[in-house]
Structures are given as structure tokens and as C-alpha cells.
Structure 1
Amino acid sequence: MRDKNEAIFTKTYMVMILGLISCFLWGSAFPSVKIGYQLFGIGANDTFEKIVFAGYRFFLSSIMIFVFCIITGRSLKIQKEDTYKVGFLGLIQTALQYVFFYIGLSNTSGTKGSILAATTTFFSVILAHFFYAEDKLSIKRIVGVILGFIGVAVVNLKGGAFQGGFKLTGEGFIIISSLVGALAGIYTKKIAKNISPFMISSYQLFIGSVVLMLAGSLGGGNGLNFTLKGSILLLYLGFISAAAFSLWTILLKYNGVGKVSIYKFSVPLFGVFLSYIFLGERLLGINVILGVIFVSSGIILINKE
């Protein structure tokens, strides 16, 4: 069965389809989260409410995957030693990463957030050098990393300078979130060798969501205003994580980090256009255009065969 799956999920067209679907879903999360803050009455300074909101989202994601596994006849039984592995992944990939992500996104625009989150790819490329022989750094990859970070810098320029263009709890937290996400991706590939991708996604999301909900509740974040529109959006956010994490874990299981990472260049593109459509954020600002060009060029260069 493993050989059959490997033959399917290593095909270029299959990697492209699943990769782009995952990245579209992640790109749509940027405007969706910001709209969610409005619908649930979460203010810019409501830190613990944001954490509880994240916990609800990922809890729903885990339940969706559990239900999918039951319907399709997939086993939900997990070995004791594997529980520790997915538990650790849940702490860093779901809990820690998204604490920084949710707080950071609330303090920057959806457009900026989507582009800054692309730094996950650059961190992944650098870290993969130390873990995988097929992903060693080269001049081509180093130039790609430089191009990418130029893009990150350009999108933060205001009036030709950095003054007022960078906030630690906004853009800074998004970058920290990206670094944690890159570390989680490296670890995901390592444990995916012997654990089902659906098992990894469901349990790590469940464990991480429980940590988020407990942390947020202990901090006093219980005042979410549920409405019909808000609940529907929360279900969509849950679906985003359930589908995107499961598909991405499958791709990482059967492909190298470098081969899969190329498709994350589309996350900022999807994020920019969807933020324009749903949030009315400016689409044609020269900084945003240049940032997208540099970020995309860097990732494509890094992964170009």
C-alpha cells in the first residue's frame, strides 16, 4: 500500500494539485481570521479571546478529521510512543505557532500577514540543509533566500523607509510564527514515515487546540459573541486546517521538503487577492506588488530543478 501511495503522491501533477489546494486554503485564512475577529467581537487587545478563538477553530478541525477517518474506515488507534510525538507536534505546530500567528495577524494587514508568512519557506529551506541530504544549500538557494527576504523588507517599507512599518507584536510575531511552522514541518516529515498523515493531523490539532483553549480560558478569554455568521465562518476555518494540514502532511510524507515548498509561493498571492476581495485592502500598492514578485521569485529559484 505504501508503494502504491508513494507512486501516486510523488507524481508532479498530483503534488501540484494538492499543493495549490492547500495553499489556497491557507491563503484564505488571512482575511477569514480578520473577519472572524469582527464577527465574534474580538478587539485588537483581546489577546486571550484570540487564543480561545484559535482553540475552537483547531478543535473543530480535529473533529472533522476524526469523522472523516470513521466514515472512510481508517483506524484511529495510535501507539503509545506515537502519542508523545504527535503531542509534541501539536504543542509547537498548533499551539505555539498560532498564538504568535493570531496575535500578529490582528496587528497587521491581511496582505502583509500573508506575505510575511511566506518566510516559512525560507526557514524551511535553511533548516532542511541540516536534516536532508537532498536539500543542501547551494548558491542558487542562498540567492533565493536573499530575494525572499528582500520581498519581506519591501512590503514593510513606508515612504521609502522602515519607520512605522514594523511592529514586534504584528509583523514580528508573524515571522516568529513562520519560524515555528518551519521547525514543525521538518519534524512532521520525520514522524510521518511511520504514522498515518491523518493520524498526525487529527491528534496534533486536537492536542494543540486543547492547550490553546485552556491557556485562553485561564487568561480570561471567554467573551466570544457567537452568531450564525460567526459560527459558519468558524466551521470554514476549521475545514481550512483539517484539509490543508492533512494534504500537506501527505505531501511531506512522500516528497522532499524542497519539492513541496515551491507551492507555498502561492500562499501570499492567494492571501493578497482574497484580502482585496473580502477586506477591501489595497491590491495595487507598489510595495505589495514588489514584495509578491520578490517572494515568489525567491521560492521559485530555490526549488527550480
Structure 2
Amino acid sequence: MIHNTSIRTNVLAAVACLLWATPFVFVKITLEHLPPLTIAGLRFLLAGLIQLPFCRKSPFHLLKTAPKTVVLVSLFQTILLYAGFFYALTLVRGAQAAIIVGSGPLISAVAAHLTMHDDKLNRRTLQSIALGGAGLIIISLASKPWNPVGIREFSGMLILFGSSVVSAAGNIVVAKKRGALSAIELNSMQMLLGGAVLLIWALPFEGVPNLILPIRFYGALLWLAFVSAAGFGIWFHLLSREKVSKLNIWKFLVPLAGATLSWILIPGEHPDLPTLAGMVLIIFGIIHSQRIPANG
């Protein structure tokens, strides 16, 4: 049961997480045409631009008034998170990526406990982390890390897990600025900065991109940019009002919907028993962590 959360908050959180479930398929489409860092840079630069018309004033003022926050959020939520995310998707199946990213709420709960005085772990939350950890181990073992193909896939999953840790750090930075900054201005500025850095980072490794590409690529890229703009805009707004651990319950929708979309839309991807078992444990762990009495 989720306590003290408005219907509006629930709906917005669910919408953000359902949006985040879709990139696993569309990133695979864009990777058919351009390398990962270039795609990530284009995606977030475009996402930052999409939000500019909705900002009350230019987000560039945050570079003067809150430069540390902008840089940290951009580093955690865009540069490191999505450089790792896009690269990892060249190593793992889309469904596995969706499930591993679904461990984020458990990681966020630990991060909130360590850094937020009003968002502490208790026994039931620790039990949920054990359940989620068991799910991750099952999924990892299913990739057969002891053979060459498995090592590649296992490495991708480790990168995705690291990305979840980075994302949790970004959530904490935003949550600590509750009410101090405009969510949409912060999101727009951090994405503009992050997208530019990713594109510059990509040049020596991936070269100058050829942008004469099929309409299918640009359709996928536009959707990815919209998901980032809308999803993170909603999430930053909610982080300014809700506790990190309570809000992150809704992220259990990401592995469910993301894995299902991958199995339906990506040729050759299909569910297997270990992955499904791991998924169930992770989701049950997340739900269990939220079913906490008011007295803790």
C-alpha cells in the first residue's frame, strides 16, 4: 500500500515510468545507424531544446545561480548514466536491459537512507533489497558469464547496474533542492549541457556522424528525445515534493513494460524462465519495500 500520495502524483509517476519503458526498443533502432555516444548526445541536446518553450525564463541563468547543481545533475542523470546505458545496449538484449534498470528503486532506497535524514531504511526495506538482489543474481547467471558470449552480456548488465547507481545519486541531488529550482528549467539546462558534452566526447571515438539517414531513425530519435524531456521533467517535479524511496515504487512499471515491448517488437528476443523469475523477485522486492506501516 502506498500512503500519503495524491492521485495526481500517482498518475504522473506512472506516466513517467511508462514513457521510460519504451526507449529499450527505440534505442536498438537508432543503434542500427549511429554509434552510442553520438545517439545519446543528439537525443539529450534535442530533449533540452524541446523544453525551452515551456520554461518561464531561460534555463541558462542556472549556470550562474546554481552551477554546482546543474553540473552534478547533468553528470549523473545524462552524461554518465546514458553513456553507460547506450553502450550497454550494444552488449545486452533489450529485455534484460529493462529488467536490470528496474533495480533502480532498490538502489535509490539505499542512497536515500545514506544521504536523506527523513528517508531511512528499515527491516522490511532491507528484506526487499535482498529479494531484488536475488533477482539480479538469477538474471546475471542466466547470461552464462563463464563463456565468451556470456562475458560480453554480463559486462553489459554490470554497466547498466552502475548506471542505476549513478541515477540514484542524481535523484538525491534533485531531491535536496526541493522548491529551490524550477524542475523544467533544471531539466532543460542539464540535458543541453549533457547532450553537448556527450557529442564532444563522441567525436574522437566515433567520428563526425553522417546525418543523412532513413526517416525511421529520426522518428526513433524524436521519440527518445520526447521521452527524456517529458519523463525527466515530470520526475524532477515529483522529486521536489515526494520522498525518493516512496516515489520510486512506480519504477516497477519500467521492467514490466520495457521487457514486454522488447519481447514483442525486437526480432529474436523472447522470455526465458530465469529472466522471468528474476523479474518477479525484483518487482516483489520493490513492492514489499513500500508496504511499510506508518510507525516503520
Same fold (TM over 0.5): yes
Equivalences, count: 283
Q: Is the 8 A contact 1:261 1:303 kept in 2?
A: no
Q: Partner of 1:222 in structure 2?
A: 208
Q: Is the 8 A contact 2:54 2:184 kept in 1?
A: no
1:15 matched to 2:2:
no
CA distance 1:224–1:295, shift in 2 (3 Å): farther
1:115 matched to 2:99:
yes
Name the % identity. Answer: 28
Distance in 1 separating the partners of 2:5 and 2:127: 28
Partner SS for 2:250? helix
Distance in 2 separating the partners of 1:66 and 1:244: 15
1:272 matched to 2:256:
no
Distance in 2 separating the partners of 1:202 and 1:66: 7
**Structure 1 residue 304, shift from structure 2 partner:** 1.6
**Structure 1 residue 296, shift from structure 2 partner:** 0.5
CA distance 1:15–1:246, shift in 2 (3 Å): same
Task: Supply the AA of the counterpart residue of 1:234.
Answer: L
Q: In the TM superposition, what are the counterparts of 1:1-305 in structure 2 within 5 Å?
A: 11-38=5-32, 40=33, 42=34, 49-69=35-55, 74-76=56-58, 78-79=61-62, 80-158=64-142, 163-164=146-147, 165-167=150-152, 169-224=155-210, 226-305=213-292
Query: How high is the TM-score relative to the length of structure 1?
Result: 0.87
Q: Partner of 1:45 in structure 2?
A: none
Unaligned stretches of 5+ residues in structure 2: none
Distance in 2 separating the partners of 1:166 and 1:11: 42
148-157 or 172-181: bigger deviation: 148-157
Q: Partner of 1:3 in structure 2?
A: none
Query: How high is the TM-score relative to the length of structure 2?
Result: 0.90
Distance in 1 separating the partners of 2:50 and 2:75: 19
**Structure 1 residue 213, shift from structure 2 partner:** 0.4
Q: Is the 8 A contact 2:38 2:202 kept in 1?
A: yes
